[in-house]
Amino acid sequence: MDTSYYVPDKTEAWQNLKRYAQKQGVDVRHEFELDSERSRVFSVRTNELFLDYSKNLINSEIWTDLIALAENSPLQQMKNSMFSGKKINTSENRAVLHTLLRKNQASEIDELDKLLKKVKGQSQNIKKVSERIRSGLWLGVDGKPITDVVNIGIGGSDLGPRLACNALAEFRHPKINTHFVGNVDGAEILSTLNKLDPQRTLIIIASKTFKTQETLMNGNTAIKWLRQNLKIADPQKTDHLIAVTANPNNALEFGVNESNILQFSDWVGGRYSLWSSIGISIAISAGYDRFHEMLVGAQEMDEHFLTAPTGKSMPVALALLSIWYSSFLNLETHAVIPYCERLQLLPSYLQQLAMESNGKSVSRQGQPLDYATSPVIWGQTGTNGQHAFFQLLHQGSHTIPIDFIAACSDAMSTPKHHEALIGNMLAQGSALMLGQSASPSKMHQHYPGNNPSNTILIDKLSAKNFGALIALYEHKVFVEGCIWNINSFDQWGVELGKKMANNLISSEGSLPNLDASTRSLFAHQRARSGMY
């Protein structure tokens, strides 16, 4: 899609915002004094998600120009193109259709309708396999039902399903445990397998290409473990192993039975793949009905994103604030702090979603950018974070925007515990904004305040609301990319390190094209490892 006409930092709105950023900053406390309706004006609700963004460093003039920035960008054109199946991933000449994975009705576009029918078929395979496993009808070679499932993948094939299974722990099958192995560190796969019964273990190898080095190495280790313990030559040909991939031919060459290959399409990006067959572990752990509810919640957020006016769109609000902080106020990091232990992996998941998508420094036309793009995403759960890094948030020299996220009610907690949890979160947001004065002799007790934050409240952490939350951040990242005029759907930045690692691993002692420092480190490791 051609967006060559669009140069964001040359637009009138961008120039206005640049001038605002150079003036004396906004004091949110003063803005609340000026407008008693501020929290109502700067908030938005869709279904069971509520966003309050009134504690941010904006006033009505800044917000008006941020909205104008969005409306004068290719956002609407790109949005229509994405949902209609145009190839907006220009560097790889691919459509971006993760939203089709959760679409619940026929498309008016014939080509999309064909793809949708294929997706529905893949979803039925997820249902069939997961229900057989959950009902105890999926048996190992010794006739015993599966009690442990090990998902082997990396990146989107690991982070999304791992997060979802944790988030939906309330619905976890009482007799089936789900484990995840992502890192090529052998200690992770070996320590996981060593505590399992091979007769009751199912291995899922999840890889889009079925060529991912780390995943296949871990997969081969798992197959060797099955072979040694089950005394069978080819465990990959049994019901102890399932492949999930967009490249079934590679899975067949690996030795997996065709009936045990769950497919998804190559237009599904890795960091958007939990909605696809990659989500089989979610359906096994929480049940296919919950997996489907997750898709429904995401689809509802898709509809909100498609139909809400720019100024009333939750994803647009989050994206514009991120752009304001990153590109204009030069704030380089953004913290995500869920006050829900089951969402402890959300910051890690959003790191990949945001930084792999928008960690770019060239435009869609390949031109260097003169402005900052994605901030560094980080965080952990509250209240743990309060006893780790909140000191810096309150009194440090960095201004760090925060997303606070919590459920209004929690069936897995008690009213007393949940009241304490939510009380802490709301108090932190207020304290960060209001601050506290101190006498000159006690400046160590001074809190400057005026620290920005968003608060997202979910009615409850249901599968549907979890799906909506993840889709919210997907669309936030998309909006950022449209306004920054970058391709959010490729990840060429991971290729060089991968290529060099492959060369080094296969070098057999020679050190091709490595710098002096790396050659020295390689030699030191070999000498000290005792393996050579």
Number of Cβ within a 10 Å radius of residue 283 = 25
Among candidates 223, 216, 253, which has minimal Cα distance to 238? 223
Helix extents (H) in 354-407: 357-358, 390-395
**DSSP symbol at 233:** S
Phi, psi of 310 (to 5 degrees): -50, -45
Which among 237, 498, 499, 524 is annotated as catalytic? 498
Distance of CA 221 to the CA centre of its chain: 28
Is 464 designated active site?
A: no
Strands 261-263 vs 241-245: parallel, antiparallel or unpaired = parallel
Q: Are strands 241-245 and 201-206 parallel, antiparallel or unpaired?
A: parallel
Q: Is-contact 483 6, C-beta < 8 A? A: no
Instruction: Quickly count helices (H) and strands (E) in the chain.
Output: 20, 11
- The residue annotated as part of the active site, out of 356, 360, 418, 476, is 356
Cα dihedral 465→173→353→190 (10° resolution): 170
> For residues 330 and 336, is the Cβ–Cβ distance under 8 A?
no
CA dist., res. 487 & res. 195, Å (int): 43
- Tokens linked to 363: 């435009």
Three-state DSSP state, 349: helix
Is 30 considered catalytic here?
Answer: no
**Alpha-helix runs per DSSP H in 324-365:** 346-351, 357-358
Rounded Cα distance, 352 and 385, in Å: 21
Distance CA 115, CA 229 (A): 42
> What's the chain's Rg over C-alpha atoms?
25
Sequence-distant (≥ 6) Cβ neighbours of residue 397 within 8 angstroms = none
CB 208 within 8 A of CB 244: no
The Cα–Cα gap between 25 and 22 comes to 8
- Structure-block tokens of residue 367: 């031109």
Other CB atoms within 10 Å distance of the CB of residue 324: 24
Q: Which amino acid is at 83?
A: F
Is 498 tagged catalytic?
yes
Of 387, 416, 442, 444, which is the active-site residue? 387
Residue 196 near residue 144, CB atoms below 8 Å: no
Residues 47, 449: Cα–Cα separation, whole Å: 32
Across the beta sheet with 261-263, what order do the strands follow? 177-181, 148-152, 201-206, 241-245, 261-263
Catalytic residues: 356, 387, 498
